[in-house]
Structure 1
Amino acid sequence: MYLVKSPLLLKWYYSDLIWNKSRSKKIVYLTFDDGPIPNVTEFVLNTLKTYNAKATFFCIGDNILKHPTVFESVKNEGHAIGNHTFNHLKGWNTDDETYINNTLKCQELTQTNLFRPPFGRIKKSQIRSLKSKVQSLKSQDSGLRTQDSKLDIIMWDVLSGDFDLNLTPEKCYQNVIKNTQNGSIIVFHDSLKAFDRLAYALPKVLKYLTEKGYQFGTL
């Protein structure tokens, strides 16, 4: 089970995580999880380019190592990069030490201030440890000020549902356009599993939101 709109109770419980951006500006934030992979990520890049849109890609470390050329394409085209763990671990089912070490392994490849927990499942103890360790590492490595090395944990307020094999492509599209508002963080997946729904919905979402006057920002 999943909810297209993030519930208020969950936002309250994890109030230190980022669920959306400013509601005062007509900007939305497209995000893509689980890549980079050939063909699918490349489709996303080409589609974004058609609409002169930027996005944020939360990458799995193992996929970065397998497909470094695709990863470089994402960076070279001006999109933001986020950490999505090395092996797509679910925090609720993983002990803290394993989870943190796996995430830091991906951090070596992404070198980012952005992290999204796979499945949106992360323990508060993991949040505290991860923020502390990443901030410490970034400060030591580059001499950044504390505020510059702060890790932002990014959630969402609109879930397309493109990963759901039982969802029609049209319903995936409707999930996004019916729930998006100023500052929305929208989740798609550049994965083989999601591709049938993604390939249909993403171009239509970009067209619809562009016509509604939205801009597309990076996190």
Structure 2
Amino acid sequence: MHLFRMPAPVRRLFSDCLWTMPATSQTLYLTFDDGPIPEETPFVLETLAAYQAKATFFCVGDNVVRHPAVARQVLAAGHRLANHTFHHVSGWSRSRASYLAEVDECQQALDALRPAPDVRPLMRPPYGRITRPLVRELKPSYQVVMWDTLTCDYDRTFAPEECLRAAFHYTRPGSIVVFHDSLKASRNMRYVLPRYLAHYARLGYQFASL
């Protein structure tokens, strides 16, 4: 079973997290998890540029350290970098101290790229796996961001055409939409992203970073 949108009870339980943006205009908020990597992130940047689209990249800190030039390309193109822990770890399997250290290490890698750190950085838990106590710990320093529409591009058993149809079905004005700039997601993401952008651009939508 593919879960494209979290059930309402889960969203209520984690109401301190950001799930969607106000639906006051035809704006979508594309996000990309797990990069940056030289194999996939430049394709994403080129595709976004073709539609004058801005996005938010939830980066794995280890990838930022390994590929700082790619991360700087994201910033130079006017997109936002955000926190996805240093080693892409689950909040369900790590101790509180270990998980918070992962978040802090990732943020240090991101801050090293910028002359001025974000006033309140964005953080997305890998796999969406986090606990309420961890959200409370993070809240004073971070905005924890979840999503409204998950494309499931990372699932290789999911046909690209199905992935695109589902993304269309679940997208609404103000949706926070998850893609992945990762090798695992490459086939589906490279098929879905340009078609998704073209479809919503024709409908008059804009694409903004968070």
Question: Could you tell me which residue of structure 2 aligns to residue 64 of structure 1?
Answer: 64
Deviations 1:42-82 (A, max 9, x none): 00000000111000000000000111110000011000111
Query: Which of residues 181, 187, 190 in structure 2 aligns to 1:196?
Result: 187
Contact 2:138 2:144 in 1 (8 A): no
Q: TM-score, normalised by structure 2?
A: 0.94
Task: Give the corresponding residue for 2:40.
Answer: 40
Q: How far did 1:2 drift?
A: 4.2
CA distance in 2, matches of 1:2, 1:167: 9
**Aligned counterparts, 1:122-161, within 5 A:** 122-132=130-140, 135=141, 151-161=142-152
Letter of the 1:12 counterpart: R
1:102-181 to structure 2, matched below 5 A, reads: 102-111=102-111, 112=118, 113-132=121-140, 135=141, 151-181=142-172
The whole-number CA distance in structure 2 between the counterparts of 1:58 and 1:2 is 22
Corresponding residue to 2:196 among 184, 189, 205:
205
Say if 2:158 is the partner of 1:182: no
Runs of 4+ in 1 over 4 A off after TM superposition: none
Counterpart code for 2:28? V
> Percent identity of the aligned residues?
44
**C-alpha distance in 2 between matches for 1:201 and 1:62:** 26
How far apart are the structure 1 equivalents of 2:197 and 2:35? 20
CA–CA separation in structure 2 for the residues paired with 1:2 and 1:19: 18
Q: Distance in 2 between the 1:45 and 1:217 partners?
A: 14
Per-residue deviation, 1:179: 1.0
Q: Deviations over 1:12-41 (max 9, x none)?
A: 000110000001211010000000000200
Match of 1:144 in 2: none
The TM-score, its normalising length taken from structure 1, stands at 0.90
Q: Which structure has the highest helix share of the two?
A: 1
Aligned-residue Cα RMSD (Å) equals 1.0
Q: What's the counterpart of residue 115 of structure 2?
A: none
Preserved contact between residue 29 and residue 209 of structure 2 (Cα < 8 Å): yes
Unaligned runs of at least 5 residues, structure 1: 136-150
1:130 CA displacement: 2.2
Asked whether the equivalents of residues 16 and 135 of structure 2 are also in contact (C-alpha less than 8 Å), the reply is no
